[in-house]
């Protein structure tokens, strides 16, 4: 029984990468206001990639249960320089499920994930593609160049999250890395073979290994609306990531238990020493109540941490589908007409 997978046969070179093509996966949720503009920018980008690398592209829009006109607008988008797939989920399953749906429906070799809010500049895609085709990297991920414009507490929370999730981890998750990344065909094949349902794409893309490179960038301002990620949702995503890729909370629980036990032992020795040397007994009620409250609170916290891991085990055992597709449509770009247009442009 083989417990690994050999994807060496899917290695791409500069000569073969163009034949694989690129699928651009864009999860969208209530992005009706800016979707048409984003699609036009992607089409312009696809024309550039076709001219420079002869790289065919498709875009996969995954509607994650939007409550506005996002789905109807996505249906009407033209297949101009790119094939267009529209995958509509039966309800809002969350961004991680939407990314998985896009990965499952991507038909071309390499896959790129980008957000639908316009903050991931399509112009940067050329650099990511160049690292894949010309430099031979399998995972090209982007990260925020800095967080100077964010509140102090948010910066501290983000740094604490990455410190916790990478504490003792063999495969570190790069700090400030986002979902805006490109995966080569063999990286895509590896990612598709990971069976877990509680998915954290930032961690999974790092865990699979291969040659990876970081590209720093400045996120563009949102073209419309405000972010739907509240503090509660970000906290939930952080808990999901930590419990999926790290046993740091359990190790912290063990360490805290050792510290409390050691403190209690030393406190007991001090009481014995005071009784032995002075003959006075320490009044026990205040210290007893404080001790019981401390130990009880710590135990409840530890039970909650263990419960998070047990809950994830239960979710995996249920083996429910990650998402359901309510509607799927495709539009295909006619390559022949595009080649004729390119020839006419060159002749002129």
DSSP class per residue in 114-138: --SSS-S-GGGHHHHHHHHHTT--S
- Quote the CA–CA distance of 198 and 208 in Å, as a whole number: 16
* Contact assessment for residue 143 and residue 181, using Cβ atoms and an 8 Å cutoff: no
Q: What is the pLDDT of residues 27-73, one digit of tens each?
A: 988 888 888 888 888 888 888 888 888 888 899 999 888 888 888 88
**What is the pLDDT at residue 61?**
92
Q: What is the pLDDT of residues 244-254, one digit of tens each?
A: 656 666 667 66
* Contact assessment for residue 22 and residue 53, using Cβ atoms and an 8 Å cutoff: no
Q: What value does the mean pLDDT take over residues 73-99?
A: 87
**What is the pLDDT at residue 122?**
72
Architecture of the domain spanning 14-245+322-331: Alpha-Beta Complex (3.90)
pLDDT at residue 2 above 70? no
* Contact assessment for residue 62 and residue 24, using Cβ atoms and an 8 Å cutoff: no
Q: What is the CA radius of gyration of the chain?
A: 26
DSSP class per residue in 79-94: -SSSEEEEEEESS---
In the chain, where do the E strands start and end? 22-28, 57-63, 83-89, 110-113, 139-144, 177-183, 212-217, 325-331
* C-alpha torsion sign, points 222, 26, 97, 249: negative
Higher pLDDT, 132 or 274: 132
**What is the pLDDT at residue 151?**
65
What DSSP designation does 9 have? G
Query: Which range, of 30-34, 112-116, 172-176, averages the lowest pLDDT?
Result: 172-176
Q: Which residue, 56, 57, 225, 35, is CA-closest to 115?
A: 35
* Contact assessment for residue 60 and residue 96, using Cβ atoms and an 8 Å cutoff: no
How far is residue 200 CA from its own chain's centroid? Answer: 5
- Quote the CA–CA distance of 44 and 318 in Å, as a whole number: 44
Q: What percent of the chain has pLDDT over 70?
A: 64
Residue ranges of domains in the chain: 14-245+322-331, 247-318
- Quote the CA–CA distance of 26 and 165 in Å, as a whole number: 27
Instruction: Give CA torsion, residues 296, 299, 305, 310, to 10 deg.
Output: -120
pTM, full prediction: 0.70
pLDDT at residue 258 above 80? no
Q: What is the pLDDT of residues 15-24, one digit of tens each?
A: 677 778 889 9
Instruction: Give CA torsion, residues 112, 118, 119, 121, to 10 deg.
Output: 60
* Contact assessment for residue 58 and residue 102, using Cβ atoms and an 8 Å cutoff: no
How does 21-40 read in b/e, with b if 16+ C-beta sit within 10 Å? Answer: bbbbbbbbbbbbbbbeebbe
| Mean pLDDT, the chain, whole residue set | 75
């Amino acid at each position: 029984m083989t417990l690994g997978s050999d994807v060496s046969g899917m290695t791409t070179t500069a000569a073969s990468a163009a034949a694989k093509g690129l699928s651009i996966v864009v999860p969208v949720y209530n992005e009706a206001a800016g979707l048409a503009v984003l699609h036009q920018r992607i089409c312009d980008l696809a024309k550039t990639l076709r001219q420079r690398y002869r790289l065919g592209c498709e875009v996969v829009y995954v509607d994650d249960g939007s409550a506005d006109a996002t789905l109807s607008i996505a249906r009407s988008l033209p297949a101009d320089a790119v094939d267009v797939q529209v995958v509509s989920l039966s309800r809002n399953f969350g961004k991680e499920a939407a990314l998985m749906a896009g990965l499952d429906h991507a038909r071309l070799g390499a896959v790129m994930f980008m957000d639908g809010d316009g903050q991931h500049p399509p112009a940067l895609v050329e650099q990511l593609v160049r690292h894949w085709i010309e430099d031979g990297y399998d995972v090209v991920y982007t990260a925020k160049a800095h967080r100077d414009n964010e509140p102090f507490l948010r910066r501290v929370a983000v740094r604490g999250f990455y410190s916790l999730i990478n504490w003792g981890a063999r495969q570190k998750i790069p700090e400030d890395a986002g979902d805006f990344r490109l995966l080569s065909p063999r990286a895509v094949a590896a990612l598709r073979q990971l069976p877990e349902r509680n998915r954290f794409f930032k961690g999974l893309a790092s865990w699979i290994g291969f040659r990876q490179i970081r590209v720093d960038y400045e996120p563009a301002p949102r073209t419309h609306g405000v972010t739907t990620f509240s503090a509660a949702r970000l906290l939930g995503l952080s808990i999901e990531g930590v419990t999926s890729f790290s046993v740091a909370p359990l190790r912290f629980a063990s360490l805290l238990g050792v510290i409390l036990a050691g403190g209690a032992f030393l406190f007991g020795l001090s009481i014995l020493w005071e009784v032995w040397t002075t003959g006075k007994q320490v009044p026990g009620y205040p210290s007893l109540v404080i001790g019981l409250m401390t130990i009880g609170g710590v135990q409840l916290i530890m039970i909650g941490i263990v419960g998070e891991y047990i809950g994830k085990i239960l979710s995996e055992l249920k083996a429910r589908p990650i998402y359901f597709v309510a509607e799927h449509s495709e539009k295909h770009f006619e390559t022949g007409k595009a080649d004729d247009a390119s020839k006419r442009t060159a002749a002129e």
